[in-house]
A and B are shown apart, each in its own frame.
Chain A
Amino acid sequence: MKGKRSLQRTLSLGLTAGVTVLWLLGVLASGMVAQHEMEEVFDSALQETAQRILPLAVTDILSRESDRVQKTAPAMADHDEYLTYLIRDASGTVLLQSHDVDLSVFNERPGNGFYNTATHRLYGTSAVSQTIFIDIAEPLMHRQEAALEAGIALLLPLLLLIPVSLLGVWWTVRFSLRRVVDFSESLEVRGAADLSPVPVDQLPQELEPMAVSINRLLERLRRVLDAERSFTANSAHELRTPLATALAKVQRLKADLSETPSLRKVAEIEASLQGLSRLSQKLLELAKAEGGGVLSETPYNLVPVLETVVSDCEREEPGRLILQRSDAPVNSLLNPDAFAILVRNLIDNALKHGEQGSPVKVALSADGKLAVTNRGTALGPDELAGLRKRFVRSHTQAPGSGIGLAIVDAIVEGAGLHLVLRSPAPEQQDGFQAELNVVVSR
């Protein structure tokens, strides 16, 4: 799964980036609207101030008795002036000015209406038949400062919005996808041979058709595998019965013959038929193991199956098997027939290739760990690696088909298990051990 894009990560980052961009666009639009409105308000205030000051100034100027009267309006209290004004006559002579005025801000001649200089916004109007003029100025810096503060006020929440949005979206996506994650994990942990239906009920509506389609596919696959298994079972029956007949007939013939050359020939035919029976048995087991039906839909206690298989093997090699099994049930989705084939092959291998007459230990612990251990010459790493190949029989003279471990491997792979081969066996100087955990759960 590594290297793939995570839906949760993509959605979290994508949605947060989207929200941020939208917020920025919103801030930009709001800023522009706010600036336009502020310009109108500031202009209105500028105009209103001019129109309020001018009549008062005219009254004051006309009532002067001397030209020496102070031309600067006194300040009521010490303060910074955002608005400064200048009242002049038509020739540009200053009649009255605000106390903090900077004359360089104003044009030489009075203006009319709104106009800008490099640093100020100005408004000019006149009274007394255009003989007294007022120009009022406001620093552009003041307006820019107001716009900047408004912009910052709009942008500041974004610093909080980004992490909150990221966290919120991440949590919402995670919460919404939790069933999808469960679904994905349940698919990930199931073995290749698990064809049970995937759970549909908990999935979001949008993903339900996908699960339904998967279940339809699994159902078809199950039917195909059932047909294949049925074919294998029928083939087994059709193959075993004539073999059984031929073997039985030959054994009866052998019983009827006295010590003659014919008896030796019949014994050879009997041995060939027995070899053919063993080989056909192994090939049928391999077909079953590779057929995919190595998992059951419901758990099964494997302890009685192990006892049955060990009891069968014990008949062939009395006294060689030591069974250590759990008293508690070992429940697993591993198909009991597949488990029986697996155990039988491991025990067969241990009996055949282990030291002749030496004990073979078969242990199944309560946690499902199965170990089959035998004595005998230790194998090298190359030999160990080659054992799983089909028809490879190590350096042994013992009779066998060479596909026992390949059958075990097919079952192990089909059930998603892990087989460990060790030589020498643990706590021994020699021998061989095959170990795996046979518990398969959903």
Chain B
Amino acid sequence: MRVLLVEDTVGLGEAVQEQISADGHAVDWVQTLAFAETSVRTTHYDLILLDLQLPDGFGIDFLKSLRHGGNATPVIILTARDQVSDRIEGLNCGADDYLVKPFDLSELSARVFAVARRYRGNPNPVVSVGELTVNLGDHTVVRNGEPIELTSREWALLDAFLQHPGKLLSRSQLEDRLYEFGAEIESNTIEVYISRLRKKLGRDLVATVRGMGYRLKTHEG
């Protein structure tokens, strides 16, 4: 997933970015609402992690304007405000979840996953693709009872395909899913990771549509 992290505390932002990246998501981290607004205008995000008290305003106002403008990107609020009335206000303004600081990073990962799963419309964390059984909760892939190890980038790529089974994804779309702003991407990076996925999960898993991109072969297809 492509995640936007809006957090002004440097140390916390770094740790959260590392955690979410380690979970296989691409994270763009901004420290002000102004940058957050620019980011959502220019990039499609699958999830926004939003602090409420920021140097140039309140996160809740940003969330309201987001929803007012028709943007339905899932939002998890990360805040030091622990009052239940703040939480209810946040959820009423369109937030999908609310995490009070200090929180465990594993809890954050679980919430990120839960929100993403909710938006895919599939509450079941276990997905079957051909001979593969993929658990979106604990990031495990099993084929005929044998677990298959994936790196975080490989997992992120598989996750991008699983979100859009059978749909054509361009190389730039896949790059967006794997890399945050400013990351240096080699021209053949996507091909390299596709090749690794095919090697580990089966050559027929991902089909190449020449000149256009890649598509996950569903069981039916």
Neighbouring A residues of B22 by C-beta, 8 Å? 255
Q: Are B15 and A248 in contact (CB under 8 A)?
A: yes
Q: Are A308 and B18 in contact (CB under 8 A)?
A: no
Q: Are A337 and B80 in contact (CB under 8 A)?
A: no
Please count the residue pairs between chain A and chain B whose beta carbons lie under 8 angstroms apart in the complex: 77
Measured CB to CB, the nearest residue on chain B to A249 is B15
Counting chain A residues whose Cβ lies within 8 A of the other chain, the interface size class is: 20 to 34
Q: Which of A81-89, A237-245, A359-367 contacts B (4 or more CB under 8 A)?
A: A237-245
Let me know if B12 is at the binding interface, CB within 8 A.
yes
Neighbouring B residues of A281 by C-beta, 8 Å? 82
Q: Are A248 and B11 in contact (CB under 8 A)?
A: yes
Let me know if A233 is at the binding interface, CB within 8 A.
yes
The 8 Å CB contact of A305, one of B18, B19, B80, B84, is B84
Q: Are B15 and A237 in contact (CB under 8 A)?
A: no
The interface bits of chain B over 71-107 (1 if a CB of A lies within 8 angstroms of the residue's CB, else 0) are 0000000001111110110000000000011111110
Given known A237-B53, A252-B15, A252-B19, contact A247–B84 (CB-CB < 8 A)? no
Q: Are B80 and A251 in contact (CB under 8 A)?
A: no
Neighbouring B residues of A339 by C-beta, 8 Å? 84
The 8 Å CB contact of B103, one of A244, A255, A284, A340, is A244
Given known A251-B106, A255-B22, contact A245–B83 (CB-CB < 8 A)? no
Neighbouring B residues of A249 by C-beta, 8 Å? 11, 14-15
Let me know if B9 is at the binding interface, CB within 8 A.
yes
Let me know if A168 is at the binding interface, CB within 8 A.
no
The 8 Å CB contact of B9, one of A245, A274, A277, A309, is A245
Let me know if A55 is at the binding interface, CB within 8 A.
no
The 8 Å CB contact of B84, one of A237, A241, A308, is A308
A240 vs B19: C-alpha distance in the bound complex, in angstroms?
A: 19
Neighbouring A residues of B19 by C-beta, 8 Å? 248, 251-252, 255
Neighbouring A residues of B82 by C-beta, 8 Å? 236, 240, 281, 284
Given known A241-B9, A245-B11, A245-B12, contact A251–B84 (CB-CB < 8 A)? no
Let me know if B134 is at the binding interface, CB within 8 A.
no
Let me know if A386 is at the binding interface, CB within 8 A.
no
Neighbouring B residues of A245 by C-beta, 8 Å? 9, 11-12, 15
Closest CB-CB distance, B87 to chain A, in whole Å?
7
Given known A273-B102, A308-B88, contact A251–B15 (CB-CB < 8 A)? yes
Closest CB-CB distance, B102 to chain A, in whole Å?
4
Let me know if B16 is at the binding interface, CB within 8 A.
yes
Q: Are A336 and B9 in contact (CB under 8 A)?
A: no
Q: Are A309 and B101 in contact (CB under 8 A)?
A: no
A346 vs B106: C-alpha distance in the bound complex, in angstroms?
A: 26
A251 vs B12: C-alpha distance in the bound complex, in angstroms?
A: 11
A255 vs B16: C-alpha distance in the bound complex, in angstroms?
A: 13
Given known A304-B88, A308-B84, A337-B83, contact A244–B53 (CB-CB < 8 A)? no
Closest CB-CB distance, B9 to chain A, in whole Å?
5
Given known A241-B9, A249-B11, contact A340–B102 (CB-CB < 8 A)? no
14 additional A-B residue pairs with CB within 8 Å, beyond A246-B102, A249-B15, A336-B84: A237-B53, A240-B80, A240-B82, A243-B102, A244-B101, A245-B15, A248-B12, A248-B16, A251-B15, A252-B105, A255-B22, A305-B84, A308-B88, A309-B84
Q: Which residues of B contact A (CB under 8 A)?
A: 9, 11-12, 14-16, 18-19, 22, 53, 80-85, 87-88, 100-106
- 30 residue pairs from A and B, CB less than 8 Å apart: A237-B53, A240-B82, A240-B101, A241-B12, A241-B80, A241-B101, A243-B101, A243-B102, A244-B12, A244-B103, A245-B9, A245-B11, A247-B102, A248-B19, A248-B102, A248-B105, A249-B14, A251-B15, A251-B19, A251-B104, A252-B105, A255-B19, A255-B22, A255-B105, A284-B82, A304-B88, A305-B88, A309-B84, A336-B84, A337-B85
